Amino acid sequence: MEENKRITNCKVVIIGGSAGSLQALLQILPFLDQAVSFAIVIVVHRKNSDEQTLEDLIALKSKIGVKEVEDKVKLKPGFIYIAPSNYHLLFEKNETLSLDTSEKINYSRPSIDVSFESAAEVYGENLVGILLSGSNSDGTVGSRAIQTAGGISVVQNPLSADMPFMPNNAILHTVPDFVLTTEEILEFIKEINQE
């Protein structure tokens, strides 16, 4: 990692994705140490009928505990939070998460853009946003918002994505700090807050 981009005071890593992102998540999350010093928040497009399937799968595969997201749940470091289906996930100034049922953005609820922009507003330079595989443009505006607020934007290398449209769109319309394969994303996350 470039020395000038070393991340030493990260509070939240937010990961967004759509079609093909589950495979990427399963190449990353199970290999992270349970002692991460930041919260991991996952916002993926999911079917309304999905209910707890994604949470159960990630909890089964990951060493890091998965906390259920309910309205006004307090965000704590060392846990994974997964946006529930059919709700936008928002970040509050008091470090809680809230759920919102306003209209879909980019045909999606949860919308990656909505969550990325909300997280950028609250966490600024203490935020890392990672955009994975997907088949629409959700996440591009949010990635730009993260950078504008002083955070770090990471985009999955489209060549390593099952559905390259989403990362390609972000690369075309923003200048990510890093474009990484899933293996490189894993190593990148492991280095966060390491002196």
Residues classed as catalytic: 18, 45, 138
- The terminus-to-terminus CA distance of the chain in angstroms comes to 12
Give, for 80, the enclosing helix (H) or strand (E): strand 79-82
Residue whose token pair is 């853009």 = 113
Side-chain half-sphere CA neighbours of 186 within 13 A: 13
Give me the sign of the Cα torsion angle 22, 124, 189, 4.
positive
Query: The tokens 């529930």 sit on which residue?
Result: 84
